[in-house]
Amino acid sequence: MSYARLALGAVAVSLLGSVSVRAADTVLKVAVTAATPEARKDVDPALKKELEAKIEATSKARKELEKQLKSQYGKKDEAWPKDKQDAFFEAQEAEALAEADYEYRRINPEALADTAQDIRNSLSGKGAFQTRKDNVVLVESPAEADIVIEVVARRSAKTIPTQLRADLYYISFLIKPGGKMAADRFAAVSRDYRFRRFGQSAWRLQAPRPDAPVWRFDALGQQRWSNAAGTAALLVNDFIAKNYGVLGGGTQ
């Protein structure tokens, strides 16, 4: 599934709404950080070509695998053997990540720190969506946290190219275990987790795997960066609430 289709699918799913899942004791300690990559304002032609080639290669691999699996097991992927479904999911994920790398090719480290602060504000009931997130207690450092949120990229876009200013704001972030979370508990979270919230758009780019035990999500907000951060904060609260059954026993 391409990056664009993931985004469109998230918008559609967000309109379905969901049943609130929470309890008074489903609280974890959360630290919010920002990645510190080297700044990259412009992309040289060689790197752009490399990123485009990666998209093409992963797309081709996904299409070839899909064609092969459909010829062997039928058109409905839910009827495929579980290991084949997993292999196809990994191919879709690789394609989506390649497209995300291209979309987020310009990097401003200071902007990532700003978005991390926006997420902290929203998690504590400030800024966008000014409701306290009942499943979160903010802490300062990853070492004292159960869950760490790391902002790794952000970008803006225009609904109509001729607009004077951007009105679509995207942020990309990781959810990973903090110093107080047992690795096996974090790994037990179902790969089927999805964020469903009426009127909010966020989608998964990556589920944990042995070489990268993290979740990666994108969140979309309209008109300002803080709205995207607010959507990310809602997802974090939802992630804890829905997965507390396995995460809650993971503190050390």
Instruction: Work out the average pLDDT over 213-237.
Output: 91
- Among left, alpha and beta (phi > 0; psi -120 to 50; other), residue 151 is beta
Tell me what pLDDT residue 3 has. 55
Given a cut of 60, whether residue 29 has pLDDT beyond it is: yes
Which one of 105, 121, 146 terminates a domain?
A: 105
Same domain for 91 and 70: yes
Tell me what pLDDT residue 20 has. 42
Same domain for 202 and 89: no
| Boundaries of domain holding 157 | 3-40+106-250
Same domain for 178 and 97: no
**Helix axes 225-247 and 109-123, enclosed angle (nearest 10):** 60
Same domain for 139 and 86: no
Of these ranges, 8-22, 117-131, 148-162, the one predicted with the greatest mean pLDDT is: 148-162
Given a cut of 80, whether residue 234 has pLDDT beyond it is: yes
Tell me what pLDDT residue 249 has. 59
Each residue's pLDDT tens digit, 64-87: 999 999 999 898 888 888 888 888
215 within 8 A of 176, measured Cβ to Cβ:
yes
What is the separation, in whole angstroms, between the first and last Cα of the chain?
A: 37
Same domain for 94 and 47: yes
Tell me what pLDDT residue 33 has. 96
Same domain for 12 and 87: no
24 within 8 A of 238, measured Cβ to Cβ:
no
Same domain for 101 and 124: no
Same domain for 130 and 76: no
Give the chain's mean pLDDT.
83
Name the token pair of 73.
Answer: 């097991």
- Among left, alpha and beta (phi > 0; psi -120 to 50; other), residue 17 is left
Instruction: Work out the average pLDDT over 150-177.
Output: 87
Same domain for 182 and 85: no
Domain count, the chain: 2
Tell me what pLDDT residue 16 has. 40
Given a cut of 90, whether residue 11 has pLDDT beyond it is: no
Instruction: Work out the average pLDDT over 10-39.
Output: 67
Instruction: Work out the average pLDDT over 187-202.
Output: 81
216 within 8 A of 170, measured Cβ to Cβ:
no
Task: Give the lowest-confidence range in 9-23, 96-110, 163-177.
Answer: 9-23
Which one of 57, 72, 105 terminates a domain?
A: 105
Same domain for 188 and 64: no
Same domain for 189 and 68: no
Instruction: Work out the average pLDDT over 116-136.
Output: 81
Task: Give the lowest-confidence range in 52-56, 95-99, 244-248.
Answer: 95-99
Confidence of residue 129 (pLDDT cuts 50, 70, 90): low
Same domain for 172 and 225: yes
Of these ranges, 98-112, 137-151, 152-166, the one predicted with the greatest mean pLDDT is: 137-151
Which one of 105, 128, 157 terminates a domain?
A: 105
Instruction: Work out the average pLDDT over 233-249.
Output: 90
